Amino acid sequence: METPMLAENARPSERAGHSFQEVVRLRTSYRKFLPKPVPADVINAVLDDAQQAPSNSNTQPWVTHIVTGAKLQELSAAILAANAAGHHTPDFSFAMSDFRGRFQERAQEEGKHYYGSLGVAREDEAGRRAAAELNYTFFGAPQAAFLFMPSVGDNVRVAGDVGMYGQTFLLSLTDHGLGGVPQTALGYFAATIREVLHVPAELKLLFGISFGYVDPTALHYYRESRRDPLTNSVVFHS
């Protein structure tokens, strides 16, 4: 189906009433937000939707920190300082170079698409660095969620559960006329974030989600669907 558009002036109090198919396709990684804060009751409604996510043995292994206001500014300053000092403390690894074949090609295509949409050339290192740093000011969003999890075994099952929680959170944002972007980039500063938010060391940071009212001037970045055909990802057996 054609990708529907998020109403430019959609307000949380006016549920957009999109169908499931529309909500799924409207959800995309928005990376430019208005400074207007999302009311607490709407954030709670989104959290309550996310709480319905399935998990292995119903362990619900997510601990979510919502950060707004002065604390978000403090956190942004701490992350930018850690980044400038090269103080990276990820709980989990992520490197594009670890991917092979079509998986790696998709990551390269995504980088091209993203930097292209910002008008940053491939050889423009400073431009790419500045674009990457937008992650650390939450793309202008006045609130962000941090998805922590207990470290259990090899962490794969728990991370899968928290991923389901994160997607439910993102779809609920869309259903409320809001947008969000999941950010492994914030996970690179797990120790810094734990320190600022007073999170115990046993909880590991999987990723953050900046979210809010999408800046309507940026909606055009997100129109095209960038997914392979099903035949590249699905194998049927009978």
Helix (H, G, I), strand (E, B) or coil at 28: coil
* Closer by beta carbon to ligand FMN, 38 or else 135: 135
CB of 183 to ligand FMN, least distance (A): 4
- At position 25, the amino acid (one-letter code) is R
d(CA 193, CA 182): 16
Q: Which positions from 27 through 86 interact with ligand FMN, judged by CB under 6 A?
A: 28-29, 31
| C-alpha 238: how far from chain center | 37
* Closer by beta carbon to ligand FMN, 143 or else 183: 183
Helix (H, G, I), strand (E, B) or coil at 205: strand
Going residue by residue from 123 to 142, which x/- string records binding to ligand FMN, judged by CB under 6 A? ------------x-------
Cα dist. 155→96, 99, 166, 225 in Å? 20, 19, 16, 31
Number of residues that bind ligand FMN (CB under 6 A): 11
Q: Find the part of the chain contacting ligand FMN (CB under 6 A) among 24-32, 38-46, 152-160, 229-237.
A: 24-32
d(CA 219, CA 32): 9
CB of 100 to ligand FMN, least distance (A): 18
The partner residues of 211 in beta bridges, in order of sequence, read 143, 180
d(CA 177, CA 223): 16
* Closer by beta carbon to ligand FMN, 48 or else 94: 94
CB of 114 to ligand FMN, least distance (A): 7
* Closer by beta carbon to ligand FMN, 135 or else 143: 135
CB of 205 to ligand FMN, least distance (A): 12
Closest residue to ligand FMN, judged by C-beta, is 185
* Closer by beta carbon to ligand FMN, 110 or else 124: 110
* Closer by beta carbon to ligand FMN, 15 or else 113: 113
Contact 152, 56 (CB under 8 A): no
* Closer by beta carbon to ligand FMN, 14 or else 109: 109
**DSSP codes of every residue in 90-114:** -SS---GGG--HHHHHHHHHHHHHH
What kind and span of H or E run contains 81? helix 69-84
Number of neighbouring beta carbons within 10 Å of residue 232: 9
Q: Which positions from 150 through 209 interact with ligand FMN, judged by CB under 6 A?
A: 181-185, 207
Quick check: 26 binds ligand FMN (CB under 6 A)? no
- The residues of the shown chain that bind ligand FMN, judged by CB under 6 A, are 28-29, 31, 110, 135, 181-185, 207
